[in-house]
Chains A and B, each alone.
Chain A
Amino acid sequence: MIYHACHELPFTQIHIVDTEFFGDDGDQKAPVCLVVRELLSGNVNRYWMDELRQMNQPPFDIGADALFVAFFASAEFSVFLALGWDLPANIFDCHAEFRCQTNGKTLPFGNGQVGALQYFGITDVDQNAKDDMRQCILTGGPWSPDERLAILDYCQSDVDGLGRLFSAMLNRWPLKSIDLEQALARGRYVATVARMEFRGVPIDVEILNLMRNNWHHLKQALIKETDQAYGVYEQGSFRTHLFERYLTTQDIAWPRLPSGELQLDRDTFKMMALRYPQLANLRELRKTLAEMREIKLTVGCDGRNRTLLSPFQSKTGRNQPSTTKFIFGLPAWARSLIKPEPGTALAYLDFSSQEIAIAACLSNDEALWEAYASGDPYIQFAINAGLAPIGATKESHEVVRDACKVIMLGVQYGMSAYGMGQKASLHVLEAEDLLQSHKDVYRTFWRWADQNVNAGLAGVELHTVFGWKIRAGKGRDVKENTFLNWPMQANGAEMLRLACIALEEAGISICAPVHDAILIEAPLEKIDTHVAQATSIMQMASEWVLGTGRQCRVDAKIVRWPDRYIDGRGANMWSFIQSRLGEEVA
Chain B
Amino acid sequence: MASENGNPPFDPSRFAMPSTGAEEFGTRKIRSAITTDKPGKMEWVRVFDHKDYFLPGAALLDLQDGGRKYLVVPEIAAQLGDDVKLYNIAPALTRQDKLFLWPCPIIRPGETPNQWHVTHIAAFEASKSGWIRMKSNRACGYYDIIEPEKIMPEPDWPDMSFADMLQIAFNDDHIIDRDDHPALRRLKGGM
Contacts and interface: CB of A to CB of B under 8 A. Distances in A.
Interface string B144-158: 000001111100100
B116 to A, nearest CB: 28
Contacts of A544: 12-13, 16
Nearest to B7: A89
Nearest to B150: A386
Contacts of B20: 362, 448, 452, 455, 462-464, 487
Contacts of A465: 16-19
Interface stretch (A97-105, A162-170, A177-185): A177-185
Interface in B15-66: 15-23, 25, 27
B3 interface: yes
Given A63-B6, A386-B150, A502-B9, A466 B15 contact: yes
Among A188, A450, A451, find the residue whose CB has the most chain B CB atoms closer than 10 A: A451
A454 interface: yes
Contacts of A531: none
Contacts of A89: 3, 5-7
A547 interface: yes
Contact of B5 (A62, A451, A461): A62
A63 B13 contact: no
A234 interface: no
A436 B25 CA distance: 25
A64 B152 CA distance: 58
A211 interface: no
A501 B4 CA distance: 12
A451 B14 CA distance: 26
Contacts of B152: 440
Contacts of B149: 386
A55 interface: no
B21 A501 contact: no
Contact of A440 (B13, B16, B153): B153
Contact of A64 (B7, B13, B18): B7
A455 B26 CA distance: 8
What does DSSP make chain B's interface, helix, strand, loop or mixed?
A: loop
B107 to A, nearest CB: 35
A466 B12 contact: yes
A88 interface: yes
B95 interface: yes
Contacts of B96: 436
Contacts of B13: 544
A390 interface: no
B29 to A, nearest CB: 10
B1 to A, nearest CB: 5
Contacts of A385: 150
Interface in A441-493: 441, 443, 448, 450-452, 454-456, 458, 460-467, 487
A506 interface: yes
Nearest to B15: A181
B10 A462 contact: no
Contact of B23 (A87, A451, A458, A507): A451
A467 B25 contact: no
A293 B22 CA distance: 45
Given A188-B10, A466-B12, A505-B10, A460 B17 contact: no
A487 B19 CA distance: 9
Contact of A451 (B4, B27, B95): B27
A498 interface: yes
Contact of A505 (B9, B21, B95, B156): B9
B5 A63 contact: yes
A47 B89 CA distance: 86
Contacts of A182: 15
B24 to A, nearest CB: 8
A366 interface: no
A86 interface: yes
Among B21, B27, B156, find the residue whose CB has the most chain A CB atoms closer than 10 A: B21
A23 B156 CA distance: 63
B7 A450 contact: no
A75 to B, nearest CB: 20
A454 B25 contact: yes
A467 B14 CA distance: 13
B10 A502 contact: yes
Contacts of A547: 18
A128 to B, nearest CB: 39
Interface string A53-77: 0000000001110000000000000
Contacts of B16: 465-466, 544-545
A452 B5 contact: no
Nearest to A543: B13
Contacts of A450: 27
Interface in A392-437: 436
A404 B182 CA distance: 54
Contacts of A458: 25
Nearest to A452: B22
Nearest to B148: A386
Interface in A499-549: 501-502, 505-507, 544-545, 547
Nearest to A363: B20
Contact of A463 (B10, B12, B21, B25): B21
A386 B151 contact: yes
15 contacts: A87-B5, A178-B15, A181-B12, A182-B15, A385-B150, A386-B150, A436-B96, A450-B27, A454-B27, A455-B22, A456-B22, A461-B21, A465-B17, A501-B10, A507-B1
Given A181-B14, A498-B10, A505-B4, 16 more contacts: A362-B18, A362-B19, A385-B150, A386-B149, A436-B96, A443-B153, A451-B23, A454-B22, A454-B27, A455-B20, A455-B22, A460-B25, A462-B21, A465-B19, A466-B17, A467-B17
Interface of B: 1, 3-7, 9-10, 12-23, 25, 27, 95-96, 149-153, 156
Q: Which 3 residue pairs of A and B lie closest in terms of their CB atoms, listed nearest first?
A: A386-B150, A455-B22, A455-B25
